[in-house]
Amino acid sequence: MLDAITAMSGAKLIVAAVLIIILLFLIFTHVRTVPESRAYVIERIGKYNTTWTSGINLLIPFLDKIRKNISLKEQVIDFKPQPVITKDNVTIQIDSVLYFQITDPKLYTYGIENPMIAIENLTATTLRNIIGGMDLEETLTSRDKINAEMLVILDEATDPWGMKITRVELKNIDPPQEIKIAMERQMKADREKREAILRAEGQKQAAILVAEGERESTILRAEAAKEAEILKAEAVKQAMIKAAEGKAEAIRVIKEAGADDKFLALQGLEAFTKMADGKATKLVIPAELKNLATLTGIFGDFIKDPDKNQA
């Protein structure tokens, strides 16, 4: 009897130990550590229960299930090129890049099926709508405008899906080959035109500078000649003034010495004699000899017999 009881006690202990081991196994296998920048969506009996964030969490065995493991970091999607028709009926290939971040794991899990495919299709249709209202030239020069419009539309459309569109970029716009060739020819013609304009402008400026230099040189030469003439005239003037002052000083000294008019006339006669000696044929009568009678009396003999006077 004692052996039977001992055997039953040993069996219970074994069962209890097995149950404890199984329980511990279930506990350790259902403990989850959620890393930073990630979130787990938890369902309990097939229904949404909670969202785990970073830290240690425990699943209830047979009841709880991790429905989705979601990254909360900003992510990027590189879409393949999409054919788009512009307003002027040119088909171009555009590939875009989209940056997004999941802000609500629950909405992201239950809001839409295959959210990446949904975003790709939404991006393609939005791009076609925007480019369809622009011609080719406007499309090639309005990337910032297109990016801004797409960002607003996509962010509003994906908000119910628990997503935030942070940035949209058109990575490449590829027109047809014949359009590329035509654009290259046009750009080459524009460059040649700008080059010709710049060359002509340079020649114009050079001609203007040369003309201005010649003008300044002519003005400077004229001003130099003018200054030289002024200085020359001033020198002649000063010489004449000095000569007149010397003559006036001589007359003054003679008068102060008691010389009369006859003496002055005699001085004038001596000057005339010197002037007549030689080949001179003309005589200049000084202004001092105003009295014609005096002049006749003094020069009478000289006029009648010039040879005698000279002797």
What ranges do the domains of the chain cover?
2-71, 75-175, 180-257, 260-310
Question: What's the Rg (C-alpha) of the chain?
Answer: 61
Can you name the residues that pair with 84 across neighbouring β-strands?
92
Kindly give the pairing relationship between strand 64-71 and strand 91-102: unpaired
Q: Per-residue pLDDT tens for 209-235?
A: 888 888 888 888 888 888 888 888 888
Rounded distance, CA 50 to CA 57, Å? 11
Query: Model-level pTM?
Result: 0.54
Q: Which two tokens stand for residue 263?
A: 């003496």
Q: What is the rounded average pLDDT for all residues in the chain?
A: 79
Q: Please tell me whether residue 288 adopts helix, strand or coil conformation.
A: coil
The stretch 142-165 carries a mean pLDDT of 92
Taking Cα atoms as reference points, which of 231, 232, 209, 212 lies closest to residue 220? 212
Q: Is pLDDT above 50 for 301?
A: no
pLDDT in tens, 12-61: 778 778 788 877 776 777 778 888 889 999 999 989 999 988 888 888 87
- Which residue do the tokens 């010649």 mark? 214
Neighbours of 12 (CB within 10 A): 10
From 3.30.390.30, 1.10.357.10, 3.30.479.30, 3.40.50.1820, which CATH number describes the 75-175 domain? 3.30.479.30
Whole-angstrom distance, CA of residue 56 vs CA of residue 35: 9
Instruction: Give the pLDDT confidence of 135-151 residue by residue, as tens digits.
Output: 888 888 888 999 999 99
- pLDDT band for 99, please (50, 70, 90 cuts): very high
Tokens of 51: 């969202």
Q: How far is CA 29 from CA 21, 22, 24, 58, in A?
A: 12, 10, 8, 9
264 falls in which pLDDT band (50, 70, 90)? low
